[in-house]
Amino acid sequence: MRVLIIEDEKPLAEALAQALEANGMVVDTTYTALEGGDAALTNAYDCVLVDVMLPDGNGIDLISWLRTSGCTSPAIVLTAQNEVPQRIAGLNAGADDYLGKPIDVSELVARLQAVVRRTGGQTGSTALEYGQLKLYENSRTLAFRDHTLELSAKEFSLMEFLFRHPNQVLSRDQLIAHLWGVDALVADNALDNYVYFLRKKVAKLGVRDVIRTIRGQGYMLNPTARG
Ligand code: CA
């Protein structure tokens, strides 16, 4: 799951980012409405967390602007103004949920998962399917016919991204941003090494070359691996 935080209190933003990353999410952090709005329109986030009082604008206005600009990522409003009118304003503007400060991280994780499920993510037992390959979010497993394989959070995140774009070549930049974050400094070969080891691991299922290299472009699921 890829999450964008828009929160100007840096220590809070960073603490939230760390906690979400520890839960296997990939997090981008921004500190202003301008930066956050730009990131939300540029990348496909599974959820956007928006503070209300931002230095250059109001988070609720930002959500409403994002909605009119075509951003469909679910949004959760974070605010100290834990009052009913504020909550209604947020939901009217297109927010999907609301969380009062101080923020309880385990509650936030639960709300995030609930919002993503409600807005089109998978429900518990359903899988993303690609031919006879099935990817289960709850158990973070990949299955082929009657064999299953457990994936790490990052491996799952990569497979999920590929499964959600089954007939599309995902560029190296898209994959690096998805796995390590937009501003991540990663070695040139980090992605290739990562894919190399994941391919080897997935081969244990008895299916070859699930991830196909498109030279000079990126990676995609291999149609011949569907079984
Ligand atoms: Ca603030």
Could you tell me the domains of the chain?
2-119 (3.40.50.2300), 127-225 (1.10.10.10)
Round to whole Å and give the CA distance between 24 and 8. 23
60 CA → ligand 1 middle, Å: 12
Residue 82, pLDDT above cutoff 80: no
Query: What percent of the chain is modeled with pLDDT above 90?
Result: 52
Distance separating alpha carbons of residues 219 and 175, to the nearest angstrom: 8
Is the pTM for the entire model greater than 0.75? no
Rounded mean pLDDT of 26-53? 92
CA of 78 to the centre of ligand 1 (A): 9
Helices and strands (H, E) in the chain, number of each type: 8, 14
Mean pLDDT across 86-93: 81
How far away, in angstroms, is 11 Cα from ligand 1 center?
11
CA dihedral 212, 214, 219, 221 (to 10 degrees): -40
Rounded mean pLDDT, 196-202: 93
* Amino acid 136: pLDDT: 85
**Whole-number mean pLDDT of the chain?**
88
CA angle 111, 20, 171 (to 5 degrees): 105
**DSSP structure string for 77-106:** EEES---HHHHHHHHHTT-SEEEESSPPHH
Q: Report the C-alpha gap between 104 and 99 in whole angstroms.
A: 9
How far apart CA 77 and CA 85 sit, in angstroms, is 13
Q: Is the pLDDT of residue 121 over 60?
A: no
Residue in the structure block whose two tokens are 């834990």 = 82
How many A from CA of 51 to the centre of ligand 1?
A: 6
Average pLDDT of span 30-39: 96
Q: Which pLDDT band holds residue 29 (cuts at 50, 70, 90)?
A: very high
Question: How many angstroms does the Cα of residue 179 sit away from the middle of ligand 1?
Answer: 28
Beta strand segments in 52-156, E: 53-54, 57-58, 75-79, 97-100, 127-130, 133-136, 141-144, 147-150
Residue 124 has what DSSP assignment? Answer: T
- Average pLDDT rounded to a whole number, residues 45-58: 94
pLDDT (mean) for 143-149:
90
- Measured in Å, residue 12 CA sits from the centre of ligand 1 at 10
194 has pLDDT over 90: yes
